[in-house]
Chains A and B, each alone.
Chain A
Amino acid sequence: MDRLGRRFVHELLPPQCLLLSDSTVTLYQREGRGYRRRDLFRDLNLSTLDSPGGRKLFSRLDEKGLGIVLGPGHFIFNILDFQRLPRRRSKCEEMVDWRLGKVFPDNLEQYIHQYYTFGRKRVFSLLVKGKVHRILQSTLGGRASYIGCSTLLSMNYLYHRPWPFSLLTPDLMIQLSEGLVVVSAHHRSVPYYIRKFKSREIRRLQEEIAQVVDFLQKQYDRTVTTYALVNSHPEIRDADLPDLTQLGIRGRRVDFQECLGKIR
């Protein structure tokens, strides 16, 4: 039923989306088939949505549906490799939870856990605190018809491609968010490594990426040749982004608003 549902039931694109980062909220509104950035609200985040600033933000919104996109700071990403996952969903879930419990110190019950399997061997797990969900529900009520993750939207935008185009996707996805950088490495579109780190200075990003590229070469024996830099930082313009061609990898830059069109 789950698979059938995924194939047949699609979500309605919300006409407006809010990207919640650590200290800013960006408003995107639908324009044609995609979204365009309309406004930026500084000193506002999930916990201060009830403040006057938040109320000002909500006054700007249309009465129509609303989508909330959470920045990578709210999530914990994990990639787990298995010898072979069971076919039954319940067994598979049990195994993933057991494995995650071994690497994750907190109580899993406080989190909303969702995972995606790739070829019955690899699992991409996503944890978000239940508190985040509760705050959003209490602040927005039934208004938010979509609460998603910016990293997943970026991944879908870059890697959800039919074969053989899936072979031509970038080896590295770098998502630049407010104060945070998410780097995920993919082989034939399937993620095999993900890392999230804080990077207050844009200059240091190049060094960090160089370290990741080196690590991937040593640990996974994979050479990174292409990358895609997704800019979901509200205040960094594309011109300010570092040039990674010096590392011997070529790539392209993607504005996050392009990725929003991938909401399904």
Chain B
Amino acid sequence: MKYLRYNISDHPRFNRRKFYFRVAVILAASLAFIFLGVNRWSRTRQLLVGNLNRLEEIQNRIRQLDQSAARYREEIDEKKRQWQREVDFVNHLIRGTTRPLVEKMTLLEKILPDQGVVKELKYTQEEKGLGLTLKVSAPELTQLLDFYRELKSLPGITYFIRDEEILERENTATVILRFIDE
């Protein structure tokens, strides 16, 4: 049961000593809490300031690295600019030799007769371009004739038939192709 306080006197006398003691205890506890709180806050602040300084250092380092990366990029660009013409020229040379040859061989592959067999393939460097000796055999003569027709329609190519051998099951033709440079 709680304490049932009852005093109907008009002049109650209060226990000041007890009151001040309690107030002093509460004040002391409050001050202790405030001191602990401030102490903890200042330690946390120090930690925070330290972390912020470290963060700033890291940011500066990142900035320096960015600057040096930009400098290197500029140097690379400068070098690129210096060497671009040479590089372009070399690339042009590579493209001029390899690519057209590959393209032409791809075209030839497409127009070869079905079940046809390439029996001989020989390159020769000529004055105006490339020369190619191609010995092809096909089971039907009509297939060979189709092949000639296709060859005729190809741009930048001239050809002539060097010899033909017509047998019952195998028709062989040796064709000389000339690729004219563009």
Interface residues of A (CB under 8 A from B): 6, 8-14, 65, 68, 112, 114, 116, 118, 124, 126, 128, 133, 137, 142-149, 152, 155-156, 159-161, 166, 169, 186, 189-191, 264
Interface residues of B (CB under 8 A from A): 1-16, 18-19, 22-23
Q: Would A12 and B15 count as touching, CB distance under 8 A?
A: yes
Q: Would A160 and B9 count as touching, CB distance under 8 A?
A: no
Q: Would B9 and A144 count as touching, CB distance under 8 A?
A: yes
With beta carbons under 8 angstroms apart, the residue of A6, A11, A160 that contacts B13 is A11
Return chain A residues, CB-CB under 8 Å to B10. 137, 142
A169 to B14, CA, bound (A): 30
Q: Would B13 and A12 count as touching, CB distance under 8 A?
A: yes
A103 to B10, CA, bound (A): 29
With known contacts A128-B8, A144-B9, A147-B8, A10–B15 Cβ distance under 8 A: yes
Known A11-B15, A142-B10, A149-B6; further 18 A-B contacts with Cβ < 8 A? A8-B19, A9-B19, A10-B19, A11-B14, A12-B15, A12-B16, A116-B2, A118-B1, A128-B8, A133-B8, A146-B12, A147-B9, A148-B8, A155-B4, A156-B3, A186-B1, A189-B1, A264-B3
Q: Would A152 and B6 count as touching, CB distance under 8 A?
A: yes
Return chain B residues, CB-CB under 8 Å to A14. 13
Residue among B8, B10, B16 with most chain A CB within 10 A:
B8
Q: Would A12 and B7 count as touching, CB distance under 8 A?
A: no
B11 CB to closest chain A CB (Å) equals 4
